[in-house]
Amino acid sequence: MNNRFEYPGDREQKSAARAKALEALLIEKGVITSSTVDTVLNFFDSKMGPFNGAKIVARAWVDPAFKERLVADTPGAIAELDLPEGMAGAEGEHMRAVANGPGVHNLIICTLCSCYPWPVLGLPPYWYKDPTFRSRAAREPRAVLKEFGLNIPNTVEVKVWDSSAQIRWFVVPERPAGTEGLSEAELERLVTPEAMMGVAVAKAA
């Protein structure tokens, strides 16, 4: 028996028609409303994600006193910002920021499975939970960072922070050179999830 299938060119349209008909049926039955899908997605699009972390980092870049407070008392500093309600949530309470500087580069890893600070960073990339990445990043962080295209000079200390159920770390990357004239909103766009994990640095656009 041949288990390979033929793939008709209209496969995409068929799935689309089926998903839309399913939604319509459930609306007709009064199980969901026409706004159910948008309500769910709005949560991911606007309430929790890397855009929150970007706002925190951009504020730290323009306000050195805020950056100090952010590192000393991360939840307290985040609460100063006008971020969506619940962002600090069940995970945010334990969030801790570590700041990169001239002599130090920080990298976050996680050896448990549910401790990624995604209210701030968004959803973790697939490789983040890979046991190989985690163990190698703990053992030889410079080599791993090099594979990400990040050459950290030997004069710079690399610190690895292992998130746990108690503390979820995120990195405040250094403000890129040549961004002195940018507004806070413009700076936000330079902050990537990778930079807040420490596997990349923030770059001027």
Partner 1 sequence: MQMRFEHFAITSMMGTQDAPPRTNGALCFGHDWERTAFGVALGLSRAGYFEWEDFRQRLIAAISCWENNHTFDDPSWNYYECWLAALEATIVEAGIATGAELAAALPPPAGGALKRSSAPSTS
Residues near partner 1 (CB under 8 A): 1-8, 11-12, 14-26, 29, 31-32, 36-41, 43-45, 47-50, 86, 88-91, 113-114, 116, 118-119, 121-126, 129, 192-193
Q: Which is nearer to partner 1, 24 or 178 (CB)?
A: 24
CB of 107 to partner 1, least distance (A): 17
Question: Which spans in 63-199 are helix H?
Answer: 64-72, 74-80, 89-92, 118-121, 131-139, 141-147, 184-188, 193-197
| Nearest-angstrom CA–CA distance, 40 and 146 | 38
Q: Who contacts 6 (Cβ-Cβ below 8 Å, separation ≥6)?
A: none
Cα four-point dihedral sign 89, 138, 161, 170: negative
Q: Which is nearer to partner 1, 29 or 155 (CB)?
A: 29
CB of 89 to partner 1, least distance (A): 6
Q: Which is nearer to partner 1, 31 or 177 (CB)?
A: 31
Q: Is 123 helix (H, G, I), strand (E, B) or coil?
A: coil
Please give the positions annotated as active site: 110, 113-115
CB of 199 to partner 1, least distance (A): 13
